[in-house]
Structures are given as structure tokens and as C-alpha cells.
A and B are shown apart, each in its own frame.
Chain A
């Protein structure tokens, strides 16, 4: 009987289970390289998001200034709004990344003893 069991190819479910177990055993603790890459990507984003908001706001203000001949006024308003837009960009970058990270690394968070729902 044992011979027969050996010759039967293992079912795919069983194989998947064993594969998951093997993967879980070799999974490094803490963050995976991919997760740290995502973190780094977010860090790279923040500066340029802020800068881009300021540049676009300032340029729009300057353009409208020359259009309506109100030289420094709309530039200042534009830079202010651009700053706000930059902050909005940055906060969106973090919100989107946080949502993605929470979905992707739900198992990681449980491993570390902090359930994602515990924070809310």
C-alpha cells in the first residue's frame, strides 16, 4: 500500500500546502526586500511631489499675473495654493501607500503582534 501511495502524484492542493509551508519557513522576519523597496519609493516621491506642487502653483500664478497685469499678487496666491497642493500630494502619497501596504503585508503585521485593525 505504501508503494502505491508513493507512486500517486501528490494532489495540487497538497503540493500548494507544502509549498506554502516551505515558503513560510524561509520567509525572513521583518520587512521583505520588496516592501522596503516600496518604502524607499515612497520616500523618493515625497520631495518631488512637494516641489512639483510649488512649481506648478508658482508658474500658474506668474502666467495669470502677466495675463491680467497684476504682477506680484497672483504669483503669491499661486505659491500659497501650490504649497497647499504639494501638502495634499504628499498626504495622498502616504495614504495610498499605507492602504497598499496594509493590504499586502497584513500577515507581516500579525506576525509582529500588531493587528492592523487594532490601530483604528
Chain B
């Protein structure tokens, strides 16, 4: 029985979900700037965020409704985060941290939506944050802000970050390179962590779901065994919900920590 017992039932490969497919092919000179499924899901994410916050802030009632409550809780959560990590003067970074947090959160959660059955491949659900170029770009923006703000606020004292005060001179040749590497590793760890978590989670999810399909298509008594990976997939899906929220939170809190370093570099 090599053929599927149920026609049309076939497991997709675990990596197919990460393929970038052009929807509207565009070129700019030699550059391929096609509107891809990745772009589509970013637009959907940003659109969802804009619609949600317009709906939430439309009424501005003293006693908030359901939608307004969610927006207020989100706002308060990020504002607390920024105030606790950077200090009261850090609230000028609130718009950036909030945008970053909400974008990553929504992108992660959108990736968990099931695909509407029967859609062509380029309209399948796509997790934009499962591509390292996206997460790394976000991390680079954060580090660029840290460097520019740090230099603007502290001037050359910003480089005190690499040479902690109160250190014997002979330790400097060892510690300064270590501090520089540590600083340079920040965008790498920021980008890699988010990307790796989303990638690994979606691969595992797809593998478990693939087991269910394979067992079901085997037919006969073997089909009953499919219940085990099915519950596995449900468990992984729940875990992915946690990871999606947690990774957005970690990205936001690390952005705050790095910004706080830049703001207080002169005190080192």
C-alpha cells in the first residue's frame, strides 16, 4: 500500500513554508524588488496593527471597552518595561520599542494562523520573522539607534562602554577586545535568537503535522497511531504561542537594555 488511502492527502515538506515566492514581480535596475509572500504578510501585519489601534483608540472612553482595554494593557506593559529599564528619561524611546514589540508580536502570531485550504502556495501563511534577514535588519536598526544616540548624548565618552573605569592598565589590551566583541555580538544574538526560535518551532510543528498525514494516508489500523503526533502537534502549537509572545518580549527588553547602556555610557 504505497498509495495514499485518502486521495489528495500528502504531507508537505517541513521547509516549504519558508520559501519566498514572488506575487508581483518587480525589478529596480538589477535589483529584484518583487512583492513577495513575505512582503504580503508584513503588509497584513502592519495593516492589522493599524486597524486594531484605530479601532481601540477611536472611542477613548473613560471606562474602556474590550478592544480599548487590550490596547491600554499593551501600552502600559511596554511603558513599564521602558521606564524600568532605561529610566524615566527613556520614555522618548517608547514609540520605537512599542512599534518593534507589536510588529514582532503580530508577525509571530500571524505565522501561527492556519492556511486557508486550497490557496495557491504564495498565499500560504508565512512567518516573516523566520527569515534571518528580517530579524537581523530589526536588530541592526536597534544597534544603529544605540550607536547614534550614544555618540550624540555622550560624545566620545560613549567609548567608555568598552573600557570600564577603575581597571588596571595592563588588563586593557585583553578586556577592550572582549568588550568590543561583546558589543558586536549584540545584533547577532538579537537577530539569531528570534529567527532560530521561529524557524525551529515551525519546522517541528510541520514535522509533527506531517507524521499525522503520513500515518493517516497509510490506511488501516495504522491510522489510529496518528492520534499520538496529533496531540504532539497541539502541544507544540501551544508552546509556539508562548514562544511567539516571549521572543517579542525578549527582543523589546534587550532593545531597552542596550538603549539604557547607550544613555548611561558616560557613568561607566
User: Residues of A with Cβ closer than 8 Å to B?
Assistant: 37, 40-41, 44-45, 48-49, 51-53, 55-57, 60, 78, 81-82, 84-86, 88-89, 92, 96, 100, 103-104
A88 touches B182 (CB 8 A): yes
SS of B interface (majority): helix
A100 touches B181 (CB 8 A): no
Which residues in window 161-205 of B have CB below 8 A to A?
177-179, 181-182, 184-186, 188-189, 192-193, 196-197
A85 touches B185 (CB 8 A): yes
Given contacts A48-B189, A96-B257, A100-B85, contact A53 B246 (CB under 8 A): no
Question: B159 near A: Cβ within 8 Å?
Answer: no
> What are 24 A-B pairs at a CB distance below 8 A?
A44-B193, A44-B250, A45-B254, A48-B189, A48-B192, A48-B193, A48-B196, A49-B189, A51-B192, A52-B185, A52-B186, A56-B181, A57-B185, A60-B181, A81-B181, A84-B178, A84-B181, A85-B179, A85-B185, A88-B179, A89-B182, A96-B257, A100-B85, A104-B84
Per-residue 0/1 for B223-245: is the Cβ within 8 Å of any A Cβ (1 yes, 0 no)? 00000000000000000001001
* Shortest Cβ distance from B188 into A: residue: A52
SS of A interface (majority): helix
- Residues from chain B with a CB closer than 8 A to the CB of A100 are 84-85
State in angstroms the CA–CA spacing of A103 and B85 once bound together. Answer: 11
Per-residue 0/1 for B75-107: is the Cβ within 8 Å of any A Cβ (1 yes, 0 no)? 000000000110000000000000000000000
Given contacts A48-B193, A49-B189, A52-B192, contact A85 B246 (CB under 8 A): no
* Shortest Cβ distance from B81 into A: residue: A100
User: Residues of B with Cβ closer than 8 Å to A?
Assistant: 84-85, 177-179, 181-182, 184-186, 188-189, 192-193, 196-197, 242, 245-247, 249-250, 253-254, 257
B185 touches A55 (CB 8 A): yes
Given contacts A37-B249, A60-B184, contact A103 B84 (CB under 8 A): yes
State in angstroms the CA–CA spacing of A100 and B86 once bound together. Answer: 12
- Residues from chain B with a CB closer than 8 A to the CB of A57 are 181, 185
